[in-house]
């Protein structure tokens, strides 16, 4: 396993446990995180504000279906079940693109799409 892949695995595991220290240790100081239609943050301090967003409890269930790496880019596809403070759960499909620098996450682009708890269905 490469250093980049290991960092992304550590990052994902940190989110599963809501371990802020572990998550932040995976990032460059000038990290950038974009979720189109939701937010675009710069730097570790702004990133840290979104580890558990308002209305959520933390400790999401994150399942990875595919992870690919080329050069200094790691792409992860999967699903996440994010528990909310009101007892409901937000089910999402995700595709995260991690741009790496020196074994740390420099930029993260997260594409998210809601879906049912059973995941996607295929036809044909």
In a domain? residue 119: no
What lies within 8 Å, CB to CB, of 11 at 6+ separation is 22, 23, 26, 98, 105
Overall domain count for the chain: 1
Q: Is residue 67 part of a domain?
A: yes
Classify residue 65: in a domain, yes or no.
Answer: yes
CATH number of the domain where residue 77 is located: 3.10.450.50
Judging by beta carbons within 10 Å of its beta carbon (0-12, 13-18, 19+), is residue 112 exposed, middle or buried?
middle
Looking at the whole model, is its pTM more than 0.75?
A: yes
Residue 32 domain boundaries: 3-113
- Is 18 inside any structural domain? yes
Mean pLDDT of 107-111: 97
Split at pLDDT 50, 70, 90, the class of 124 is very low
Each residue's pLDDT tens digit, 18-44: 999 999 999 999 999 999 999 999 999
Instruction: Compute CA distances 92 → 27, 63, 97, 103, 111, whole Å.
Output: 23, 11, 16, 27, 10
Q: Assess whether pLDDT exceeds 80 at residue 120.
A: no
Residue 115 has a pLDDT of 84
123 assigned to some structural domain: no
Convert the pLDDT of each residue in 71-92 to its tens digit. 999 999 999 999 999 999 999 9
In a domain, 122, yes or no: no
Residue 37 lies in a domain: yes
């Amino acid at each position: 396993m490469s250093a980049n892949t290991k960092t992304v695995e550590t990052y994902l595991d940190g989110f599963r446990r809501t371990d802020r220290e572990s998550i932040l240790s995976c990032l460059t100081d000038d990290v950038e995180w974009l979720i189109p239609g939701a937010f675009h943050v710069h730097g570790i301090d702004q990133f840290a504000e979104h580890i558990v967003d308002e209305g959520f409890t933390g400790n999401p269930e994150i399942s990875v279906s595919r992870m690919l790496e080329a050069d200094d880019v790691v792409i992860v596809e999967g699903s996440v079940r994010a528990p909310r403070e009101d007892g409901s759960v937000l089910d999402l499909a995700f595709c995260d693109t991690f741009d790496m620098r020196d074994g740390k996450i420099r930029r993260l682009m997260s594409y998210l799409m809601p879906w049912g708890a059973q995941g996607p269905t295929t036809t044909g």
